[in-house]
Structure 1
């Protein structure tokens, strides 16, 4: 176990749960980013995915027991704890989180967590009701207070057939969040303001106008920028996503609230990236009571235009480097280039929506990134990878001193 000082050394702990199968892809994603990976399974994790799978993917023996005579002859668990530059537990079950919070050391994985001086990251995964339990939330809060990084969970369909918060982050996003701080500081010293998610325009106390934006693209950009050293402020519409590590988040609901929050946070920002899907219109008046259905009649809405956040930022002097987003169903590049010129942007990232495999409601995306004298394609990939590539293109176009 001679350490290579030039490569991150990730000790991956896998606890019991159906999401254990995702940990196999995580090993591959970490290794393709040039990390050395060693895997420790709990007994319950080994019921879902075999040690042989992880051994084949990591190229290293897999550990699961404190009572391994060969490994422990020289206090192998201490050696393993010293070897790691970061401990990552994915998935982290409710039981594992509870044992970490209470400082238990009743198996190899929890013992390693107490014996290591490396930072610890957990990616929770469990049923939505379990995740919402006060005991689980208290245990997570305890770990956060001790400096443990918590990634997720996401919201969505679960293996139990329910829908809600509790899904483990996808492997590429975990690998990005874990490794980026260890592999570069390209954005150090820069302040970045990002908008993400939808806006909701209330019609009455129970109804609103909205859209399908999940916020995942904007959150991926925020996570990638923060991981590379940027000071990131994220103005977010209503989403069910966890705040990326190191990001300052401002929650808003409506386009007017997002407009106010952006202009308030704008002074001193070097880059503004507008990924949010902002409603173009809002009701002229919000009804104080629920609008009742009238038998046999329709409903006419009196709508007024919302403020144009992107154009207003671009018109400011001094102004940051302004990057817009354009979600289109057809003629993507033509509409995007028109928006680039019309709103006086520095760059625009255009993506096709309306399909099942890209954009809204998807973990993947592809972008046509345009600027006034050129452009580049970002091929289809997970949104964490797309975010990194977008930041590379922005960084290459920033004026000196920005």
Structure 2
């Protein structure tokens, strides 16, 4: 192993972590500065280094930038039109009395596919409170069940921005990413439910019932739409993306593959979903400027994630072209450990250190790119390991921690037992799933 290249990797990653934690800069410039530091220590000429960063940034956004923007826009429409709330009520009706916690978890898992965790929780928590009051169940139980479902999809399946970015960086087909992520979620739902019931009942006596007392009144102001209408903009693009993946395997070289390759391309599929959402979700009489305003807000919130993803691509390209990546692949290849633990542990450390699961998984994926390109690590396994590592120990530096615990009426150590405990339990439960995936794909 070349010690100079190893030093370049260590110093570059350390620079990223220190910048995010200790300076006024966020992950976007941190990743770019990390790429510069890595390249210079590795001996790359400054002029060449700029070219590597530019190429990596552009190539990454060329493949995934449009998709992230469309996914965020679709999520915004789901949020403001009441579609997420409609899906929640449909799940409650579907699962029936006595299964309200399951209904909340499943609702969160579906709603969080296009909608950010924070927004989904704020929208749906009034329903959890209402169900708790009507069924005499604990608010904390239903709150944790809802939040756990939300964080599963937010972390594991596209078109949530984090998994989208990871798939783009590692070259994973989005349909494959979705089809692998769904079984993970199915297995993890019982984990969420068990933790929510055990810990929720223990913490219910410590809940402050005065928090957010007006939630239910605010929920009544949301528009009411049907579940089919609410689900259409999500289901259609997912089906198109999955059909594209399936047709490549079942009908290669046929006209069927040609058609599905176009309409099932992630950018086209999500564009179709966005158009459906723009014309089916808003209430009749909604003015054009109001819908355009919603989409503008989505562009603002999605812009940072797009920039971070591009910066991750720049860093990954520097790692690859400078030789740091191949040096890493040769070194870790001699370790008696599965290589997927590299991105998994990197994402875990970054998650605890700086709070953002999206930043953690994107950074971990950039470090996995050289391993994938060297053929020593399966890209799907690398993507899932990067995502799963980002579950670990959500705490005070994670905005979702505060949203979940304050709405649930918990504070201090009780809040950490509830939500930090939930995310850490999920993190532990993903480890055997990753080993099973490793045994399957190698």
TM-score over 0.5 for the alignment?
no
Q: Which has the higher contact order (CA 8 A, sep 6+)?
A: 2
Normalized per residue, the structure richer in strand is 1
Q: TM-score, normalised by structure 1?
A: 0.24
| TM-score normalised by L of structure 2 | 0.22
Which structure would you say has the larger Rg?
1
